[in-house]
């Protein structure tokens, strides 16, 4: 069949070659060039630069800014937090090299991620974001639907353990009207507004999955990275960014 279509035994069939060339060109255009054009169009909005100071760690004037879109119930987000963000916070954030911005992106496929985000947002309003976020991630296996411990979805005692009684009372007050595990915005739940804003910004990016990381340095923003990245590799990238003028 190949012989008859492309090659008649002596000469190449010009018409068939033309069709093949057009097919190859279409293939290249579709699979290799199109992604650049699509990606360029998707990268134009600079909306994600707005910071949420309540849920950020470090010096806002740090040379590197890193935004993390997280879902508290997503196992990869937990892995990223424990293995990468914790050493990052203890080292590069503490030393003023990196400004770490947390944004909530609770996925509707997770039953309790929105509720966890509400607790963290409430804690952030009293300046206790870091402690509660750490407690939520440290105990992810205790409350998430993927967890091995029961009961699932019970986040309150974990938040309580990370705060003083007075702080917890303030957080509880902010959580009034937010008791439901509803995955959509609850009217009357004060902290949901912040989550909605983060979600809207994430959708502009667009965040396709969690965790999604956006790094910017020297006034330039890098494309979003999705998935878990190990600390040694991330640190190597940061060191190169820091060595640049």
Q: Which residues bind another protein (CB under 8 A)?
A: 2, 6-7, 12, 17, 20-21, 24, 27-28, 31-33, 35-36, 39-40, 42-44, 46, 76, 208-210, 220-230, 232-234, 236-237, 240-241, 244
Nearer to another protein among residue 190 and residue 209 (C-beta)? 209
Nearer to another protein among residue 146 and residue 222 (C-beta)? 222
- Closest separation between CB of residue 169 and another protein, Å? 38
Nearer to another protein among residue 194 and residue 202 (C-beta)? 202
- Closest separation between CB of residue 101 and another protein, Å? 17
- Closest separation between CB of residue 77 and another protein, Å? 11
Nearer to another protein among residue 77 and residue 93 (C-beta)? 77
- Closest separation between CB of residue 46 and another protein, Å? 8
- Closest separation between CB of residue 85 and another protein, Å? 14
Nearer to another protein among residue 23 and residue 193 (C-beta)? 23
Q: What is the spatial distance between Cα 34 and Cα 28, in angstroms, rounded to a whole number?
A: 9
């Amino acid at each position: 069949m190949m012989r008859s279509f492309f090659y008649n035994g002596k000469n190449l069939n010009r018409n068939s070659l033309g069709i093949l060339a057009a097919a190859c060109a279409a293939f290249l255009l579709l699979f290799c060039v199109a992604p650049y054009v699509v990606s360029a169009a998707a990268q134009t909005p600079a909306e994600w630069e707005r910071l949420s100071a309540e849920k950020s760690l470090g010096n806002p004037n740090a040379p590197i800014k890193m935004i993390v879109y997280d879902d508290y119930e997503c196992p990869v987000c937990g892995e990223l937090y424990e293995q990468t963000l914790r050493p990052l916070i203890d080292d590069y954030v503490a030393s003023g090299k990196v400004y770490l911005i947390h944004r909530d992106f609770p996925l509707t496929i997770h039953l309790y991620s929105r509720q966890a985000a509400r607790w963290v947002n409430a804690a952030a309003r009293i300046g206790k974001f870091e402690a509660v976020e750490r407690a939520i991630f440290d105990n992810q296996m205790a409350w998430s639907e993927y967890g091995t411990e029961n009961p699932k979805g019970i986040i309150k005692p974990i938040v309580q353990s990370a705060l003083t009684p007075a702080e917890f009372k303030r957080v509880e007050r902010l959580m009034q009207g937010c008791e439901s595990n509803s995955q959509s915005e609850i009217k009357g739940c004060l902290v949901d507004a912040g989550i909605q804003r983060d979600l809207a910004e994430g959708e502009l990016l667009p965040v396709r999955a969690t965790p999604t990381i956006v790094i910017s340095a020297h006034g330039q923003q890098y494309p979003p990275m999705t998935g878990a990245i190990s600390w040694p590799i991330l640190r190597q990238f940061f060191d190169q960014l820091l060595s640049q003028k």
